[in-house]
Structure 1
Amino acid sequence: MNKLFALLVAALILFGAVMAQQTPAGTNISNQASASYIDSAGQARTTTSNQVITVVQQVYSFTITPNGTDENSPGQTRSALAGAPVYFTYTVSNTGNGTDTINLTTVQDTGDNFDLSSTAIYLDANCNGTLDPGETAPITSVTLTRQGTPGASACVIVTGTIPASATNGQFGNLNLSGTSAGNPSVTDTNNWARAIATTAAILTATKSASPSGPVTPGSTITYTISGSNTGGSAASGVSVTGLTGTGILISDTIPTGLSVPAAPTGTAGAGTVQIVYSTDSGATWSTTAPTFPFVGNGSNRVGMFISGSGAFFPQTASYTFSFQATVPASAPAGTNYPNTATVTYYDGTANQTTTSNTTNNSAASRYSVAIGGTGASAIDGADTQTLASAFSGSTVTFNSTLQNTGNAPDSFTLSLGPSTIGTCSVYQSDGVTPLSGPVGPLAAGATYNVVVRCAIPASQTTGGSVTLTATSVNNPSGSVATPLDGVDATTLAVTTVVSGYSVDAAHNTNGASGGEGADPANDTRPGYNPAVNPGGVAYFPFEVSNTGANPDSYTLSASLPAGWTVVFYPDADCNGVMDTPTPSPVTNTGLISASATACFIAAVQVPTGAAPVDVTAGTSDNVQFIVTSTTLGSVSDTILGAVDVNLVAQIALDPDRSGTVTSPGTIQYTHTLTNNSNTGATCNISGDGGSHGWTYQYSLDGSTWSASLSGVSVAANGGSQTIYVRVLTPAGQPIGRTDVNTVTATCTVGSATATDTASETTTVVGGDLRLTKSGVSYVGSSTTVRDANAATALPGDVIEYIVVASNIGTGNLTQVVITDPLPSYTNFVSVSATISGFTGGTVLYSTNGTTWSATAPTTLSAGSSIYVAVDTNGDTNITSADVMPPSATITITFRVQVQ
């Protein structure tokens, strides 16, 4: 194998590695499914699954080129005088997906004529095939970044000296062997080279390119070919068609696509120098300059002809030939421009052609991004998207288009902030599925729509904005103000925010309103103050008026002496008297329309052991009731009250609880058993079990459960114990059924007995969709499991996601659509779904959420999602007429392959 062919093979191998880049080691591949549906009450709802995250593991792989398969088939050959050094050039390339160190050694052949002495390996930093100043320190390894990034390959030179005793024509073989430090089982050991002893003229040829690696499209590469006569006699010229006399010809084919803007230059230590040109692949040459730029088309060449008669180029004489070539501004990323020069001469016995090392520049990737309003025209000009007005507490939506404006496939991360319009989140183009991980890879010029939703705080009274920034994964640096770089941003703004929240609380004594409106006078206590024993309850009727412009609900709280508690009850008829039966306690007013009023009774629980209080004796008001907007915490009103206290021991079990549960289902309540006596109490806890045969269980620690509790010790003077109650509802309970369990604490306090109760009101609700996700990774596309939890994978592995959607409620769900996005750094493999619990029904698939088919898709583009639903009415579409009954299940198998 000659040197030119070997180096071209090396270039092609490197090019192939770049074109098949693997996902970088350590990359997180995250995937989360979502679903939309209509519940049994007719309300549109969404839910998301848990997130499955797979970490890509490192693949160790590298190549050393040119290859020499064995001692008899060297990949490169060098000739030199006996006693002179020879130089072999190699390229070491990391073809894996993470940084690795390649350990290098040399091996001598045992079946040749001689061994090379003084062998060493050097780093050729500029890849010019020559040891330059600063490159004289031997190395034993090279550390390379992952495939496809700068620093993923390195040029090395292996040197050795031919023995002075070698005779003309004798040879010695040398091999460069490499071993991965990350995985020593990965090696490359077939890189044999041959050194030949000679006494004839030897013209060397070394080629350099500046810059030596990727080149920005539109910029220029300077090529320099240099060499000298290192042989044992003077060199002579050869005859060249089209040129006068004989001479030494240095020839270089212009890489296809590059253009030479001006005439080359050159010098030589002997003979006469002429710059020459060929348009027919070197069949004929001319000294007449072409029209510049001189474009590389596979046939056009530039050269230098050193003319002279006889053996005119003596030993140690040298030459240099240089020319420039411009890379097209429109060159796609990764376009390779390999270049090799040749030198033709007569060595005293025969015509010889020396081939230089091959330079392999490529068009650098330009990674840039643009983002703006929806549509290509908005991307090009509009950096601000503005809504004229919005209400505080509402959610506004912005649609933006992301475009890859670079010349290579790229992925992009999207970030928000800072925000002055509330909490904002980024979603995929469907506006439902959260965007997790980068978007892409997107092809050069491709676009992708994203949705930003911002929840405006209730406290917002002025307009605001948030910045949506897109950042290239491959070029995370840049400036929003600079076009065609790795960062761009668009501003999402709301000009005006309108707010209207206020509240007024007033005493309601025996049904007589204390006055409404924002009137501080109605906040003072009425002309009475109840007297209770320690552990007793004082009742205060009051009303809450929504004096704002928007519907609102309010938290009910109190400021009480230490150890006192309060329970609030609704007063449906606003007569200031506790309704019968006693309603369930509340801590919130529920939604009150603008200008409407709701009535409540505050039951102030005085703790056992509380000191006597006589407000009428001059003590200031000792209770306050606070009504606070749940929408806007700064909106509140406070009314004053007072309680006279006598000292009497008492046991309290608080508070009453209420909640909702599915059928079957489980809910857990907590109560606090408080001993307000002045001595310890021993208590038994039990419940009446409600009216419908539900199961009630009790616990002190939330983990060990029994049908009742006994011997519960509670310390005196405010000592307390948490009581956990677990409610298990059986299947088949109708929606809306309510069960009330009365929990009773019966306590022995000294020689007396004290009791208290708490109620638990539980209501059955229906229509609850549970979405769960799991994953497993397989070795390639085989059935061998890599990781049963899909926590790790290698490039090329297949990840299988299992999404299970179940109706765990007791009511029908309708228009159920499950969405699963194609994760970044993966390619789509397949999707399938099965159903159970449906009466009939056909699984339908979609890639846009609107067009449905019973045939699963076979392709899915980057950044897209798969949609799965069940058609139960046979119209081949998904509407509110498609029903998912209780206990029905949809199971989706979604397979992707790691890039």
Structure 2
Amino acid sequence: MKRIRRYVGFLLAVLMGLALAAGTPAGTAITNQATATYIDSAGQPRTTTSNLVTTIVQQVYSFTITPDGNNENNPGQVRSGLPGSQVLFNYRVRNNGNGTDTISLATVQGTSDNFDLQNVRIYLDANCNGNVDAGEGQVTQVTLPADGEACLVVTAVIPSGATSGQHGNLNLVGTSQGNASVVDNNNWAQARATAQAALTAFKAATPSGSVAPGTPITYTISGANTGGSGAYGYPVTVDGTSRTGILIEDVIPNGLQVAAMPTGSAGAGTVRFVYNTGSGWSTLTSSNLPLTGNGTVRIGMLIEGSGPFFPQGAQYTFSFNAQVPSGAPAGTSYSNFAVVRFDANGDGDADDTGETVTTNTTTNTVGAAYAVQVGPYGYPLGNGTGTYTVGAYTITRNADQQMVSAVYSGTTVVFRHTLRNTGNTADSFTLSPSGQPSGWACQLVADDLATPISGPVGPVAAGGDLNFALRCQVPAGYTGGPVNIVLTATSQANPSARDNTTDTVTTVADGYRFDLFGGVDGYPPYTQVRTPNGTLLTSDDTTTTNRSIYQSGTTHPERDPGQSVTYRLRVQNLNPNGLADNYTLNLIPQTGYAQRVASVLFYADPDDDGIPNGAPISNTGLVAHNAIFNLVAVVTLRNDAPPGPAGFTFEAKSGTSSAEASDYAYAEVLVNLVAQVTLDPDRSGTVTSPGTLVYTHTLTNSSNAPAYCDISGNGGAHGWTYQYSTNGNNWYGALADVYVAPNGGTATIYVRLQVPAGEPVGRSDVNTVTANCDLTTGTPDNTYEATDTATETTTIVGGELRLQKTVDRTTAYPGDVLTYTITAENIGTGNLTEVKISDPLPNHTTFVSVSATATGFTGFAGATVLYSTDGTTWSSTPPTSLPAGGVVYVGVDTNGDGNITSADVMPPAAKVTITLTVRVQ
């Protein structure tokens, strides 16, 4: 099965990344929720959602140990050595399950052989080079994640009393600790005693394990003569001439390219690099490169010599680089081993037992490169242009941002998006919006703009696109802007792989009263520090309150809480000694400062434009004689500043004068009374006749003074009764002097509607609730400085759609089929129309089938169940496939036009039952 791995540089580890060898990872929650849209008996469009159902994926236990050796007579590997010497067997363990498992390891001696091997040990081969390196310890078990692998070396000693030609057999047995019935025991190996030459051969790949597209793999084959005599060469034809030598050969893995000359050395003999493309061996030079692996192309090193030229203890090494293609998809595997051939007994061939040695197998897998881009609809790469329209609003795409110039409070704005999987493997993604103001109800929905997205989306194939939308309900009382909502797509496999795109609402206008636009408070008109007669302040001003800063002829600039005043100041060096000086900048609080001023910061203003430059400062730095240092002081009011004056004095203090000479300038800011209350939200609801309905509203006082509010309403045109309360227990026809604390204080207003019997279906009433508020710091005088309203629209209904969902499995294994049952039923007393039931394909599943039945459609003999995959085009034939992220729709056609429209009726007690089957990946 295809491996899916995360590439994290050159992974020099044994446990090779996560994948889905046996499907969806254990513990994954598969969630699903259905949605239905319809028109109720009062003619109003409605949406309802089912309960959420969840299935948890269970663990599958499976592993393999290779190479296989089916029995003692057919060992998977054979090693030769002197009696009393050590031999090494190489194995690879792979977890093919869908969760982490621990595999116990043990060895078993053969019974159909000449001797038992001694000092048998199992080592974890961390770099998979086939040898036991310093620091690599013994193991009796390995713990592997799903699709994880580990290389092992089993070492054993041939008994010193063994004679040449005798052999001993050994089997490596693995047992799953998660499921003891899962065993791999066909891994027999053989060690042969010999007094002749015996060559070892080890293979290393750097990096080992995971490799990135476009990077090289360095293969190194090494070994030594560990036998009892010198090794002979055997005849090898090169360039049409027979040569005698020891040949190390390697089939270049399919798709890899060798572009540079190999390197190598030998403890005896002469080294020649060779290659073979299927027409025999030839001497390799740089002019023959590159060589591209196709399953037959071989590269090698011939160690030439005559007689038993390669003595005991002589070593050899051979290395070459092979480039991984830059476009290699995740999961591409490159397995490689080398073969060493020599003549052990001088009979002129390499055909005897032990004269052909196969190295361990190295395996490199192209790691998964996880990446995602999300952008405006149709432009996932963030290069959006043009416009599109959803509902009442036109959305403009500008690069990686989508904008709508103006929307009205109380309406819905929809931004459509396209996500692209720019990684090299399938992936699922989490979508998350941020930055929406408090009270905004923003929901991620499918591309049909209705079906909610719950949990991750996908899997999306590498290079594949997925369309979806962000639907935001703007609160009725919200105005202002701009609003910037950042939508983030995050890879589930690698959370560091993410991308953002921005949705912007430039302004939100009051959709219920009037259109209000406010300017940003800019810098005030030019002001300077002056004496009462208008001359610039100098160092003879020695008191803290006798000099004022004038602004446009007014001593007291007026500002709202939270706003700022910018004063343009100058410090001029008039030292008689002509020396430079440094002046410390301070502020001395005066009356009203503490409760009204949040901060005062000084900034340099070198270009004298009244705009702060750089970071805040606390001194001027050196000012030359007669030079003027221009600066600004930004005074920011507290957000909760009450009405009234705030006074403060600016001070410039000499840094060198022994008298600590200071100069002062006094200023005052008058905090305005800000009268602002909001009564939110506007509400709408349905009620039966007779019936009772309770609405709640939040009265917020954003003013900087306490509010005393009178609450009343104007509904009841049909004899309906409205009552008001602040606690939900005591009810009155109206409320008087409801106290709300300043600066964001709130009070809950309850409105209870009682509808008498006999009201017709479809009748509605609008109650406008009004809050008239007296803003005061003293005693209320019933003078209303602030007013706001909230509307309540109530409609008599006679129908209601109930949507329920079940799943037949709360746990499942990869490959299991899940059956979802969705039941939609009209439990009201009036007809519903244009009923469309939708269900998204759950994440980590593949579509199998869908079917539906309809009952209770009395009077509609020809009622036919229709299906759709886009909510627009309908067919009586169920779909046979559904893409990742797809949605299936079901409706009942009662007028025979082959479509689902407002002409299609779902009468009281009618029921639609949908069966959706999917297979767990």
Report the TM-score, using the length of structure 2 for normalisation: 0.67
Q: Give the alignment of 1:356-435 within 5 angstroms.
A: 356-376=359-379, 379-380=382-383, 382-420=399-437, 422-435=440-453
Whether 1:808 aligns to 2:827 is yes
Letter of the aligned partner of 2:435 in structure 1?
P
Look up the match of 1:725.
Answer: none
Look up the match of 2:142.
Answer: 142
Letter of the aligned partner of 1:263 in structure 2?
M
Contact 2:415–2:470, Cα closer than 8 Å, also in 1: yes
Look up the match of 1:490.
Answer: 501
Gaps of 5+ in 1: 1-13, 478-485, 504-545, 560-565, 574-580, 590-600, 605-622, 639-654, 661-689, 693-732, 739-761, 777-789
Give the direction of change, closer, same or farther, for the CA distance of 1:331–1:19 in structure 2 (3 Å limit). farther
Whether 1:874 aligns to 2:896 is yes
Give the direction of change, closer, same or farther, for the CA distance of 1:438–1:271 in structure 2 (3 Å limit). same
Give the direction of change, closer, same or farther, for the CA distance of 1:572–1:359 in structure 2 (3 Å limit). closer
Give the direction of change, closer, same or farther, for the CA distance of 1:635–1:496 in structure 2 (3 Å limit). farther
Give the direction of change, closer, same or farther, for the CA distance of 1:449–1:583 in structure 2 (3 Å limit). closer
Residue in structure 2 matching 1:624, options 725, 729, 736: 736
How far residue 737 of structure 1 moved from its aligned partner, in angstroms, is 11
Whether 1:196 aligns to 2:192 is yes
How far residue 857 of structure 1 moved from its aligned partner, in angstroms, is 1.3
Whether 1:334 aligns to 2:471 is no
Contact 1:570–1:583, Cα closer than 8 Å, also in 2: no
Contact 1:252–1:301, Cα closer than 8 Å, also in 2: yes
How far residue 71 of structure 1 moved from its aligned partner, in angstroms, is 2.2
What is the distance in 1 between the residues matched to 2:234 and 2:890?
Answer: 75
How far residue 588 of structure 1 moved from its aligned partner, in angstroms, is 9.2
How far residue 300 of structure 1 moved from its aligned partner, in angstroms, is 2.5
* SS of the residue 1:285 aligns to: strand
CA offsets, 1:410-468, max 9 Å, x none? Answer: 11111111324833221111111111121111111110101001223323412111111
Look up the match of 2:277.
Answer: 279
Residue in structure 2 matching 1:175, options 158, 171, 174: 171
Whether 1:826 aligns to 2:845 is yes
Letter of the aligned partner of 2:454 in structure 1?
S
Look up the match of 1:452.
Answer: 470
What is the distance in 2 between the residues matched to 1:799 and 1:58?
Answer: 16
Report the TM-score, using the length of structure 1 for normalisation: 0.69
Contact 2:430–2:492, Cα closer than 8 Å, also in 1: yes
Contact 1:227–1:319, Cα closer than 8 Å, also in 2: yes
Contact 2:441–2:472, Cα closer than 8 Å, also in 1: yes
Give the direction of change, closer, same or farther, for the CA distance of 1:889–1:548 in structure 2 (3 Å limit). closer
How far residue 846 of structure 1 moved from its aligned partner, in angstroms, is 1.1
How far residue 18 of structure 1 moved from its aligned partner, in angstroms, is 6.3
Give the direction of change, closer, same or farther, for the CA distance of 1:814–1:862 in structure 2 (3 Å limit). same
Give the direction of change, closer, same or farther, for the CA distance of 1:404–1:691 in structure 2 (3 Å limit). closer
How far residue 74 of structure 1 moved from its aligned partner, in angstroms, is 1.6
Look up the match of 2:202.
Answer: 206
Letter of the aligned partner of 1:399 in structure 2?
R
How far residue 228 of structure 1 moved from its aligned partner, in angstroms, is 0.7
Give the direction of change, closer, same or farther, for the CA distance of 1:567–1:292 in structure 2 (3 Å limit). closer
Look up the match of 1:471.
Answer: 490
Q: Give the alignment of 1:247-326 within 5 angstroms.
A: 247-280=245-278, 283-326=280-323
Q: Give the alignment of 1:57-96 within 5 angstroms.
A: 57-96=58-97
What is the distance in 1 between the residues matched to 2:229 and 2:698?
Answer: 106
How far residue 36 of structure 1 moved from its aligned partner, in angstroms, is 0.7
Q: What's the % identity of the aligned pairs?
A: 55
CA offsets, 1:372-406, max 9 Å, x none? Answer: 01114754562211111112332211000000111
What is the distance in 2 between the residues matched to 1:118 and 1:308?
Answer: 36
Q: Give the alignment of 1:512-523 within 5 angstroms.
A: none
What is the distance in 2 between the residues matched to 1:464 and 1:819?
Answer: 31
* SS of the residue 1:50 aligns to: coil
**821-830 vs 335-344, which deviates more?**
335-344
Look up the match of 2:874.
Answer: 852
Contact 1:502–1:548, Cα closer than 8 Å, also in 2: no
Contact 1:501–1:549, Cα closer than 8 Å, also in 2: no
How far residue 292 of structure 1 moved from its aligned partner, in angstroms, is 3.1
Letter of the aligned partner of 1:891 in structure 2?
T
What is the distance in 2 between the residues matched to 1:280 and 1:30?
Answer: 55
How far residue 305 of structure 1 moved from its aligned partner, in angstroms, is 1.2
Look up the match of 1:710.
Answer: none
Letter of the aligned partner of 2:881 in structure 1?
T
Give the direction of change, closer, same or farther, for the CA distance of 1:121–1:394 in structure 2 (3 Å limit). same
Residue in structure 2 matching 1:154, options 143, 147, 150: 150
What is the distance in 1 between the residues matched to 2:138 and 2:683?
Answer: 78
Look up the match of 1:748.
Answer: none
Gaps of 5+ in 2: 1-14, 385-398, 515-676, 685-694, 701-709, 765-793
How far residue 567 of structure 1 moved from its aligned partner, in angstroms, is 11
What is the distance in 2 between the residues matched to 1:548 and 1:476?
Answer: 41
Give the direction of change, closer, same or farther, for the CA distance of 1:796–1:626 in structure 2 (3 Å limit). same
Look up the match of 2:180.
Answer: 184
Contact 2:720–2:753, Cα closer than 8 Å, also in 1: no
Look up the match of 1:718.
Answer: none
What is the distance in 2 between the residues matched to 1:558 and 1:413?
Answer: 36
Give the direction of change, closer, same or farther, for the CA distance of 1:551–1:275 in structure 2 (3 Å limit). closer
What is the distance in 2 between the residues matched to 1:309 and 1:196?
Answer: 26
CA offsets, 1:740-761, max 9 Å, x none? Answer: xxxxxxxxxxxxxxxxxxxxxx
Look up the match of 2:357.
Answer: 354
- RMSD between superposed Cα atoms in Å: 3.5
Look up the match of 1:667.
Answer: none
Letter of the aligned partner of 1:211 in structure 2?
P
What is the distance in 2 between the residues matched to 1:408 and 1:165?
Answer: 56
How far residue 31 of structure 1 moved from its aligned partner, in angstroms, is 0.3
Look up the match of 1:765.
Answer: 797
How far residue 284 of structure 1 moved from its aligned partner, in angstroms, is 2.4
What is the distance in 1 between the residues matched to 2:680 and 2:492?
Answer: 47
Letter of the aligned partner of 2:183 in structure 1?
T
Look up the match of 2:610.
Answer: none
Letter of the aligned partner of 1:852 in structure 2?
W
What is the distance in 2 between the residues matched to 1:802 and 1:252?
Answer: 58
Look up the match of 1:241.
Answer: 237
Contact 1:129–1:357, Cα closer than 8 Å, also in 2: yes
What is the distance in 2 between the residues matched to 1:873 and 1:391?
Answer: 38
How far residue 194 of structure 1 moved from its aligned partner, in angstroms, is 1.3
Contact 2:848–2:919, Cα closer than 8 Å, also in 1: yes
How far residue 365 of structure 1 moved from its aligned partner, in angstroms, is 1.5
Give the direction of change, closer, same or farther, for the CA distance of 1:858–1:91 in structure 2 (3 Å limit). same
Letter of the aligned partner of 1:833 in structure 2?
A
What is the distance in 2 between the residues matched to 1:168 and 1:162?
Answer: 11
Contact 1:60–1:97, Cα closer than 8 Å, also in 2: yes
What is the distance in 1 between the residues matched to 2:94 and 2:187?
Answer: 14
CA offsets, 1:581-635, max 9 Å, x none? Answer: 985243399xxxxxxxxxxx9558xxxxxxxxxxxxxxxxxx825599xxx9989
What is the distance in 2 between the residues matched to 1:557 and 1:51?
Answer: 30
* SS of the residue 2:502 aligns to: strand
Contact 2:485–2:503, Cα closer than 8 Å, also in 1: yes
Whether 1:586 aligns to 2:723 is yes
